[in-house]
Chain A
Amino acid sequence: MNPTMTKKLLLTLLAWGIALIVFFPIFWMVLTGFKTEGEAVATPPSLFFEPTLAGYNEVMARADYLKFALNSIVISFGSTLLALIVAIPSAYSMAFLPTKRTQGTLLWMLSTKMLPPVGVLMPVYLLFRDMGLLDSQLGLTIVYMLMNLPIVVWMLYTFFKDIPKDILEAGRMDGAGTLQEVLYLLLPLTLPGIASTGLLSVILSWNEAFWSLNLTTSDAAPLTAFIASFSSPEGLFWAKLSAASTLAIAPILIFGWMTQKQMVRGLTFGAVK
């Protein structure tokens, strides 16, 4: 074997190794969901066992999965839509009408992501309480929109910046106003980027737990709260918890699987061309 082949082989093994490490917990969780509670905590852990749906049955019996799932869908897609509606005009003005402070503003927006959310929990909680937004879909949608806005603006900004200015100017010469310029030229040209930005925002919202656990109780609780509800009251029941977790991540996993081509294309949009 020549050296480049060896290198290739090693890299492939490394990639597989990393993929396995990343994937293993999910795999183990799915597996545990099909065990009995006894098997779930057995040491050494058993890899071969009689699969059972007992965990799932109990989970479905104890909580209304569909209600949580619907909340997750409404909140994550709603917040993403809202974020895009706000971010597209912002990114447009930053990309095409920059001022001296544009870069600074962008960095500042991103820097808010470095703030631990718990730092603003109290004020947000009180605000929500006074405005009656606690445990409402609207409340969580707004929080998620704000949470993802910096990333969404940043990503759209980089996609917009890649569009040659000439094309938009040609549009302006052809008689396009700002709205037509955005609708007929900018959005179609950056659609892959916008789509992957939206997908990322949906996924981030779906998996968010801190705010959903603190700001919702039952009416607007999404799937993260659904999982959490199986971890607290009577100690840990691993099989049930795993079953609930599997149910919670299954939709987004399938969604991610179906759109992965789009994601990869969008996220490498600027780099490859």
Chain B
Amino acid sequence: MATLQLNNIVKDFGGTQVIKGVDLEVKDREFVVFVGPSGCGKSTLMRMIAGLESTTSGDISIDGQRINDVGPADRGLAMVFQSYALYPHMTVEDNMGFSLRLAKVKKAERREKVLAAARILQLEPLLDRKPRALSGGQRQRVAIGRAIVRNPSIFLFDEPLSNLDAALRVQMRIELARLHEELDATMIYVTHDQIEAMTMADKIVVLQDGLVEQIGSPMELYHHPCNRFVAGFIGSPKMNFLDVEVREASSEGIDVALPGGDCRVPVDGSGISAGDTLTLGIRPEHLKLDDEGPLTGKIVVIERLGGVTSLYLEHGDSEWILVADGDVAHRVHDQVRFSFDPTCGHLFKGDGEALNHLHRHPLVDIDRKQNRVSSASDGQ
């Protein structure tokens, strides 16, 4: 039961601004993910919410209460650190129960709460071990268990899965999603990982250089990035960009010139005039091999992943990435033609701002309840 509001918050580290005025509204029980390149201030922002870092200016409120001057322990939050930060000299049980011990909770009650959390995370057989005798995944679960025991209104995760191997990461991702359903708590999650962001978030916050670039649902960021940075950051492999000249522009769409003929992208062209230069963006998965296509390129590298194949193409000084079927037979140095569905194209102005699409993608407003079977509907 908690909402969080950030109101124009700023963090200044001895003269350098690291967070430059961030506004954010987190709803009750929402799963919010912070993404952005390394050094953009994700951890700093999270640590400010946690109370481990002071706020230079601006307000942080939980449930409408300003908490800038409340200590980290009294904010009712729990944080899971990237390094797990377990207490090495305590057993798993003592690690999980430390906050209760500090709060002077009776031993029996403490044990009961720790056991309840251990049950959720299948940690019961490990309660007597020290952290050093645990595997990475088990340590991770203890760190999460320690957070659960505190029964926080908001969970904070700072890249909790980045020290795990790929298979375990997938498993923990699903476990975290399940946990979110089960605990029904508000969660804020920092990650580098596209897949984690796209699969777990109700809402993604894209940060760059201490500023919010865009806030939206995963599908919204994918289909309607508001600028070139977000377009390039969300999606993997990266979106292709090509500078193009405008032939004709109106509020019904923009015609742009491509090497093999013009094409019409359905975006609002008000304020754009013929002869302007825009940047066309197309995702690799929206390009398709097509012998009649308007674009050509020579294959430089082929990455065969089995299910799909990534083709790295070169044409003049422009480079393209194209995701094709797993069974394309082309070889390196082959010259290929390709095309795309113009409704999947994006156009960006010189300053990087995206031109609005005329139609919103139908999946943009989908929320996580429609992607996961929640435990509630499970039981019915």
Residues on A lying within 8 angstroms of B by beta carbon are 164, 166-167, 169-176, 180, 184-185, 188-189
> Which positions 77-104 of chain B face chain A at CB distance < 8 Å?
77-79, 81-83, 85-89, 98-99, 102-103
Tell me whether A173 and B73 are in contact (CB under 8 A). yes
In whole angstroms, how far apart are the Cα atoms of A175 and B77 in the complex? 11
Closest to B89 in A: A188
In whole angstroms, how far apart are the Cα atoms of A166 and B158 in the complex? 11
Q: Which residues of A contact B102 (CB under 8 A)?
A: 174-176, 180, 184
B85 touches which of A167, A180, A184, A189 (Cβ 8 Å): A167
Q: Shortest Cβ distance from B92 into chain A, in angstroms?
A: 14
Tell me whether A173 and B50 are in contact (CB under 8 A). yes
Q: Which residues of B contact A184 (CB under 8 A)?
A: 98, 102
Q: Shortest Cβ distance from A184 into chain B, in angstroms?
A: 8
In whole angstroms, how far apart are the Cα atoms of A174 and B149 in the complex? 10
In whole angstroms, how far apart are the Cα atoms of A176 and B82 in the complex? 20
Q: Which residues of A contact B176 (CB under 8 A)?
A: none
Closest to A163 in B: B88
Q: Which residues of A contact B83 (CB under 8 A)?
A: 164, 166
Tell me whether A170 and B79 are in contact (CB under 8 A). yes
In whole angstroms, how far apart are the Cα atoms of A171 and B72 in the complex? 10
In whole angstroms, how far apart are the Cα atoms of A174 and B95 in the complex? 10
In whole angstroms, how far apart are the Cα atoms of A173 and B81 in the complex? 11
Residues on B lying within 8 angstroms of A by beta carbon are 50, 52, 71-74, 77-79, 81-83, 85-89, 98-99, 102-103, 146, 150
Tell me whether B52 and A172 are in contact (CB under 8 A). yes
Q: Which residues of B contact A164 (CB under 8 A)?
A: 83, 85
Shortest beta-carbon contacts, A-B, top 5: A166-B85, A175-B73, A174-B99, A170-B85, A175-B102
Tell me whether B79 and A173 are in contact (CB under 8 A). yes
In whole angstroms, how far apart are the Cα atoms of A133 and B77 in the complex? 54
Q: Which residues of B contact A173 (CB under 8 A)?
A: 50, 52, 72-73, 77-79, 99
In whole angstroms, how far apart are the Cα atoms of A213 and B105 in the complex? 55
Q: Give the one of B78, B83, B98 with max A CB within 10 A.
A: B98
Tell me whether A175 and B88 are in contact (CB under 8 A). no
In whole angstroms, how far apart are the Cα atoms of A188 and B72 in the complex? 23
Q: Give the one of B50, B77, B85 with max A CB within 10 A.
A: B85
Q: Which residues of B contact A169 (CB under 8 A)?
A: 52, 72, 79, 81, 85
Q: Give the one of A173, A184, A188 with max B CB within 10 A.
A: A173
Q: Which residues of A contact B71 (CB under 8 A)?
A: 172
Q: Which residues of B contact A176 (CB under 8 A)?
A: 73, 98, 102
Q: Which residues of A contact B79 (CB under 8 A)?
A: 169-170, 173
Tell me whether A172 and B87 are in contact (CB under 8 A). no
Q: Shortest Cβ distance from B187 into chain A, in angstroms?
A: 15
A166 touches which of B73, B81, B89, B150 (Cβ 8 Å): B81
Tell me whether B146 and A174 are in contact (CB under 8 A). yes
Q: Which residues of B contact A167 (CB under 8 A)?
A: 85-88
Tell me whether B88 and A189 are in contact (CB under 8 A). yes
In whole angstroms, how far apart are the Cα atoms of A166 and B86 in the complex? 9
In whole angstroms, how far apart are the Cα atoms of A169 and B83 in the complex? 12
In whole angstroms, how far apart are the Cα atoms of A109 and B82 in the complex? 36
Tell me whether A172 and B89 are in contact (CB under 8 A). no
Q: Shortest Cβ distance from B324 into chain A, in angstroms?
A: 44
Q: Shortest Cβ distance from A269 into chain B, in angstroms?
A: 14
Q: Shortest Cβ distance from A265 into chain B, in angstroms?
A: 15
Q: Given contacts A167-B86, A169-B85, A173-B73, list 18 more A-B pairs with CB under 8 A.
A: A164-B83, A164-B85, A167-B85, A167-B88, A169-B79, A169-B81, A170-B81, A170-B86, A171-B87, A172-B72, A173-B50, A173-B52, A173-B72, A173-B77, A175-B74, A175-B99, A189-B87, A189-B88
Tell me whether A174 and B88 are in contact (CB under 8 A). no
Closest to A100 in B: B14
Q: Which residues of B contact A172 (CB under 8 A)?
A: 52, 71-73
In whole angstroms, how far apart are the Cα atoms of A180 and B99 in the complex? 11
Closest to B84 in A: A166
Closest to B83 in A: A166
Tell me whether A171 and B52 are in contact (CB under 8 A). no
Q: Which residues of A contact B146 (CB under 8 A)?
A: 170, 174
Q: Shortest Cβ distance from B334 into chain A, in angstroms?
A: 51
Knowing A172-B52, A172-B72, A173-B52, the reply to whether A189 touches B81 (Cβ < 8 A) is: no
Knowing A164-B83, A166-B81, A169-B52, the reply to whether A174 touches B98 (Cβ < 8 A) is: yes
In whole angstroms, how far apart are the Cα atoms of A172 and B74 in the complex? 10
Q: Shortest Cβ distance from B190 into chain A, in angstroms?
A: 14
Q: Shortest Cβ distance from A262 into chain B, in angstroms?
A: 17
Tell me whether A174 and B52 are in contact (CB under 8 A). no
Closest to B14 in A: A100
In whole angstroms, how far apart are the Cα atoms of A184 and B50 in the complex? 21
Q: Shortest Cβ distance from A168 into chain B, in angstroms?
A: 9
Closest to B53 in A: A169
Q: Which residues of A contact B98 (CB under 8 A)?
A: 171, 174, 176, 184
Tell me whether A185 and B52 are in contact (CB under 8 A). no
Q: Shortest Cβ distance from B110 into chain A, in angstroms?
A: 13
Q: Which residues of B contact A185 (CB under 8 A)?
A: 87
In whole angstroms, how far apart are the Cα atoms of A173 and B158 in the complex? 14
Query: Can you give 18 A-B contacts (C-beta < 8 A)?
Result: A164-B85, A166-B82, A167-B85, A167-B87, A169-B79, A170-B146, A172-B73, A173-B52, A173-B73, A173-B77, A175-B73, A175-B74, A175-B102, A175-B103, A176-B73, A176-B98, A184-B102, A188-B89
Q: Which residues of B contact A175 (CB under 8 A)?
A: 73-74, 99, 102-103
In whole angstroms, how far apart are the Cα atoms of A172 and B52 in the complex? 8
Q: Shortest Cβ distance from B357 into chain A, in angstroms?
A: 43
Q: Which residues of A contact B52 (CB under 8 A)?
A: 169, 172-173
